Amino acid sequence: MLAAGGGVIVDVDGNSLIDLGSGIAVVSVGNAAESVVSRVQEQVAAFTHTCFMVTPYDGYVDVCEALAELTPGDHAKKSALFNSGAEAVENAVKIARVATGRDAVVVFDHAYHGRTNLTMAMTAKNMPYKNGFGPFAGEVYRAPMSYPFRDGLSGVEAAARAIDVIEKQVGAANLACVVIEPIQGEGGFVVPAPGFLPALAVWCAANGVVYVADEIQSGFCRTGDWFASDDEGVVPDLVTTAKGIAGGVPLAGVTGRAELMDAVHVGGLGGTYGGNPVACAAALGAIEEMRTHDLPARAREIGAIMASRLTSLQEEYAVIGDLRGRGAMMAIELCVPRTTDPDPVRAAAVSAYCHQHGVVTLTCGTWGNVFRFLPPLSISDELLHEAFDVVGEAFAATR
């Protein structure tokens, strides 16, 4: 790759590709957003590193203040910053365990939480994420996810099914936290039925279980709200963030109820680079872009365009079994027509056609049959339409 910006990637041969992946939901504000570039340049010229635990600096505190303001809920919050999404998830589990004095962690079918040892245990899919890399961390239990296209259950029914598994197989008294992606990412952009997340959060609160929203892929304006949890007004006890937070510079965070965060002993959380000054400057720049350009609203507009283009494709091609997602996080699930039998071969063919014809797209899902769309929120309507013209041609040209 040679250059990138505004939804276009230029490769080493000078070919332009339209970006419908944003580096997996990272460059939501664009690949070289003005406020990110200028703040990073200024910071890098001032100082690159001190280690926040040794010599604190304003940028870290400013990011924590922004996180407190933007994440769901108006309770007292604190944040700790890290380098990657997986590291944030690991730390959320550490915090929940210390705060509750309990060990068990519940995650869901199709979940993706990272590639470190604990987060591999939390991730559902074996190949390629876990195969041969065990043994995995213990005390991680999996509950059934709400997956309306496949289970046909209402949110309340699916929550009752999950809670029954948790109570029978784990026991609330042993459970430190429930960790869930409000819209699943790698697992297939599965959007739980309305009511599922609120019912789960209510059960957690009633049982002293920490409800952790993994908003690493769904957060920071992607779904048309600042966070996907906002859609149903769910207020998580802890929220993990990464990806979109810093416009492409590695940064991650755990933000949560002050009393949970304060349960950890002094020195219990940390790391040499967590909340690096340059990464914090990038985050402040990205957040400025999101606020100035009202990117939650732009994500909803992008979502409306994608939904209309994908609805027409679904009417034409019976292989598109399901269309789901919210805002600029949308996907189609490809299945043998009129069944829920996955068709990963067609998904791979459509994806390859798109790449060959200048559109960067991503697949995902437990069966590899989900075609996902994550354009940068800086993309123009014209480019977006051009990209979906190619996606349409890809369906016509493959079988």
| Identity of the residue, 179 or 335, whose beta carbon is nearer to ligand PLZ in the bound complex | 179
Write out the H or E segment, with its range, that includes residue 333.
Answer: strand 329-334
What secondary structure letter does DSSP report for 341? -
Contacts with 331 (C-beta within 8 Å, 6 or more apart), sequence order: 188, 189, 323, 324, 325, 364, 365, 370, 371, 372, 373
CB of 124 to ligand PLZ, least distance (A): 12
Residue 137, judged by CB atoms within 10 A of its CB (0-12, 13-18, 19+), counts as: middle
Task: Report whether 36 contacts 289 (CB < 8 A).
Answer: yes
Q: Which residues bind ligand PLZ (CB under 6 A)?
A: 24, 84-86, 89, 112-115, 181, 185-186, 214, 216-217, 242
Cβ distance to ligand PLZ smaller for residue 270 or 337: 270
Shortest CA distance to 21 belongs to which of 214, 248, 298, 198?
A: 248
Shortest gap between Cβ of 314 and ligand PLZ (angstroms)?
25
* Residue nearest to ligand PLZ according to CB distances in the complex: 85
Checking DSSP bridges between strand 140-143 and strand 104-108, what pairing results, if any? Answer: parallel
Least distance to ligand PLZ, CB of residue 111, Å: 8
Shortest gap between Cβ of 91 and ligand PLZ (angstroms)? 12
Q: For ligand PLZ, which is the closer residue by CB, 24 or 37?
A: 24
Shorter beta-carbon distance to ligand PLZ: residue 35 or 83: 83
**242, 244, 269 from 87: Cα distances, Å:** 10, 16, 11
Structure tokens at 51: 């280690």
Looking at the Cβ atoms of 346 and 372, the one nearer to ligand PLZ is 372
Q: Which C-beta is closer to ligand PLZ: that of 75 or that of 355?
A: 355
Per-residue b/e over 353-364, b at no fewer than 16 CB within 10 Å?
bbeebbbbbbbb
The tokens of 14 are what?
A: 């000078």
Closest CB to ligand PLZ among residues 67, 320 = 67
Cα–Cα distance between 99 and 260 in angstroms, integer?
6
Question: Minimum Å distance from CB 177 to ligand PLZ?
Answer: 14
Give whichever of 21 and 342 is closer to ligand PLZ, judged by the CB atom.
Answer: 21
Provide the Cα torsion 120, 369, 150, 23; round to 10°: 50
Q: Shortest gap between Cβ of 144 and ligand PLZ (angstroms)?
A: 18
Compute the least distance from the CB of residue 389 to ligand PLZ, in Å.
27
Minimum CB distance to ligand PLZ, residue 225 (Å): 16
How far apart are CB 127 and ligand PLZ at their closest, in Å? 12
* 9 membership: H or E segment, kind and range: strand 8-10
CA distance 78 to 64: 7
Compute CA distances 146 → 108, 193, 350, whole Å.
9, 6, 27
Identity of the residue, 211 or 388, whose beta carbon is nearer to ligand PLZ in the bound complex? 211
Rounded least distance, CB 107 to ligand PLZ, Å: 11
Task: Give the nearer residue to ligand PLZ in terms of CB position, either 309 or 351.
Answer: 351
Shortest distance in whole angstroms from residue 214 CB to ligand PLZ: 5
Q: Which is nearer to ligand PLZ, 97 or 113 (CB)?
A: 113
How many contiguous H segments (helices) and E segments (strands) does the chain have? 13, 15
Cβ contacts of 355 within 8 Å, gap of 6 or more: 17, 361
User: Which strand (E) or helix (H) includes residue 286?
Assistant: helix 277-292
DSSP letter at 154 equals: -
Report the relative pairing of strands 104-108 and 175-180 from DSSP bridges: parallel
